[in-house]
Structure 1
């Protein structure tokens, strides 16, 4: 009998808009729609990939889930609880179950703080363990992420980028969280170190039953680590599918463009590069139609006038496109 899947994080029509400072006298407000109506369920124990080019809203989506950014509209549920209906005190109790690993490990650490203190700080804030137990936990965390015990007395500038990212990962798991947003955690690292950090994340996931949202622009890394992948474009959901299905049978034109841009050593001649329209730099927005229409090679008049519906083409494979 298969284990029943449990939804750990649920997003319902989540929006995050930023007001634009206008240079005209118009009273009509304008916004940058960083996240525009994302509805998504993340299953406990899985790694949900979120991909798209820079500015698509993937990092903003991750930050809104753990309330580093306050949402404009919609709701985020964690373990069935609406986190936006909770008081600050109530959310603080829930906050330790939701952590984040940032892209730049150097800026994530206080240069004046020893690594041991950085790892102990979450436990100090939540008053977990005795003083002696906290010190033992710091040593345990260092070993768990592949660092030596004596590193606890060093400062962040004494480490390489990969070692600093290990420290950041150790701090993220210090409170035994259930969900971690990994915001491009390997993009600032050398390729050889990337593989080590990805393996570490997978080992920790298996050991602690962690659930990840893995945000990245590197589709090669996403294919290796993720179970399902959400493709975003300008704040909107373009396609969602199991990782194998997405890579072998992409449906949305934007997904095909992203996948065709992956560098390959042995190029398959049967797989042609998808070319965007000549006016691909025309990113003018409209209240109607598909946001990808100015760049889409399959664009029709309907695409410019009617926003595409979010449809399930196959079990678990969703897409927002008129021409699919």
Structure 2
């Protein structure tokens, strides 16, 4: 009997009919409560969990599962809850003194909290049928324009969505000169996995972070999680160019404009698209930046792919050193004249 107590779980006999089902089987964070169910050997036996880091590695008991009063029913079935591991490719199985289930491989969702600035009245410059103006660079808001800071916990680079913990507490914090963090606002995640903080809570330049609170609803035990530091600045938009004019020839368009005094302007961006019933055929885009000029330029000659008797549409933006575009652009449409035929 003493020897039997130390016999490793068998890999034969009852194990051939053993089974393990874990729900939810995917899409959970480490610490969320899972249900383990299945069959493992004869009835009325104590059972516990084992884990290993990858297939082929040695199995080890999960310490937190040893004190649990888990036993199989008379037909060997079991059902209990346990928290998901916070690791990928780790394997769990249920064992008794005489049998073990097949392994279940976990793929944990890693927590994320990404901060971004949302313009509440973004420029609605659509021309032609495409947005021309560039969004604000990351971490910037514009002085005098309404904005929010959003905490995003669901979006990731491959367009997949992470699970939403509806109602999870979120703190917005500002880094202090001594590198401590001061709470500036508190909120909670909505159904989309966002928490928004108004500009009154983010009134000026600084380094902010979001902290997702401990999550213990529904038996879960997901620990708190901080975002990376978010460097935030409020900047000015550059002033727009004025008096945009276009003089066409059969093979070129000469643009001229006037510039206001503006120390914030670093560059000028010229955008061209097809107008009327014309869509450029020599280049795929219907609109495209054709050149970025120095901030003191007051004109540009476009001779790239210009055809006679065609309508072209131009927009000219200014851009600051920070990469912030003017809110609106000077625009003009122009038709190139027919080419003059030579004498026969």
TM-based fold match above 0.5 = no
Q: Which has the higher helix share?
A: 1
Higher strand share: 2
TM-score computed with the length of structure 1 as normaliser: 0.19
Larger Rg belongs to:
2
Higher normalized contact order (CA 8 Å, seq sep 6+, divided by chain length): 1
